[in-house]
Amino acid sequence: MSTNIHSLADVRSQNIGNGTRIWQFCVVFAEAQIGENCNICANVLIENDVVIGNNVTVKSGVQLWDGVRIEDNVFIGPNATFTNDLMPRSKVYPDQFLKTVIKAGASIGANATILPGVTVAEGAMVGAGAVVTRSVPPNAIVVGNPARITGYTNAKDSTGAKTQQQDVLRTPPYANSTSVNGVTVHKFPLIPDLRGSLTVGEFERHIPFSPKRYFMVFDVPSKETRGEHAHHACHQFLICVRGSCAVLADDGQSRTEITLDSPDKGIYLPPMTWGVQYKYSEDAVLLVFASHHYDGKDYIRNYTDFINITKEKSVTK
C-alpha cells in the first residue's frame, strides 16, 4: 500500500503514512507529519509543525497551522477554522505557537472555529459553526458561540416514558437500575401538607451507604459543568433539592444521563463512576452526600486515566 497524492497538490513532506490520499490543490509543508489511511480533501493547507494521526478525515477548505495536533480517527468538517495566536499581528511572530489538540475520535463540524491552546477531548463532538473558546471535555457535544455543552455522545436517557409509566404504579421508596454498572436512580416518599411538603430518605436503607461528608453546589451559571471526575473508593449520592440539573454517569463502557428535577429524586454513583453535572437551572441547588472524608488522592480527574484504570480492573477480575 502506498500514498495517493493528486498531481495538482503541492506536497513537500515525506512523512506521510501508507494509504493516505491527498487531493488536488492541497499544500503540505516539508515537516508536516500525516499518519496512515487519512483522507486530506481538496484545498487543505498543512503547515510544518502539524502532526496528524491515523484514519483522519480533513474535509475541504481547512487550514492546519503550526501547533495543531490531530490524533487518530478524527473528523474535521469543511471550512473548519484553526488558529494558533491569540493576539496576531502582521509580521510579528511569537516565540512558540500555542498547541491545539484534537484528541482521538473527536469530530469538528463544518465552519467551526477552534481558538488556540484548547483541547477537544476524546470522542467530543463540536457542532457546525461553533466557536470553541476553551477546552471541551471527553464525549461532550458543544454548539453555539461561545460553544457550550448541550449533551454527551452515546448517553442513554434512563428516565424514559416506559420507566415513568411503570413508576406510576410503584410506591416510594424505590430504585431503578441504569445502563451504567451500579448506578441507580432513587425515588423517595413525598408527603404534601398544608403546612409544607416533606421528603425523607434513610441512609443504609434507601441510600446505600452512611455519609461522612456533604457539600452543596449552587449559583452555577448554566453554561458551566461541574464534577468531571471519578473516585477510587468514595460513594456519592446526589439530590437536586431545588431547580434542576443533569447528571452524566459513565463506567468506561456505558454512559447514561439523568435529569434531577425534584427533591424526592436522587442518583447513586458508586466508586469508579465518571460523573459530570451540567444544565443547571438558575435556581438549582445540588446536595451531594459522600461516603468518605475529602481526600485528593481518591480523585481521578483525567478521563483517559479513568478509562485505563477501568480496563486494568476488568483484566484483573
Locate 159 and state its grid cell: 428516565
Q: How far is CA 129 from the centre of its chain?
A: 18
CA angle 207, 211, 216 (to 5 degrees): 95
Please report which helix (H) or strand (E) contains residue 151, including its range: strand 148-152
Contact (CB, 8 A) for 239 and 293: no
Locate 223 and state its grid cell: 453554561
Contact (CB, 8 A) for 128 and 77: yes
What distance in Å separates the CA atoms of residue 302 and residue 230, rounded to the nearest whole number?
Answer: 9
Q: Are strands 140-143 and 148-152 parallel, antiparallel or unpaired?
A: antiparallel
Alpha helices in the chain (DSSP H): 161-168, 303-316
Sign for the CA dihedral angle at 287, 292, 294, 295 comes to negative
What distance in Å separates the CA atoms of residue 57 and residue 48, rounded to the nearest whole number?
Answer: 19
229 is catalytic: yes
What distance in Å separates the CA atoms of residue 221 and residue 148, rounded to the nearest whole number?
Answer: 11
Which residues does 222 contact at the CB level (< 8 Å), separation at least 6? 279, 280, 281, 282
Catalytic option among 6, 206, 229, 232:
229
User: What DSSP character marks residue 224?
Assistant: -
Contact (CB, 8 A) for 94 and 123: no
What distance in Å separates the CA atoms of residue 48 and residue 9, rounded to the nearest whole number?
Answer: 16
Residue numbers annotated as active site = 229
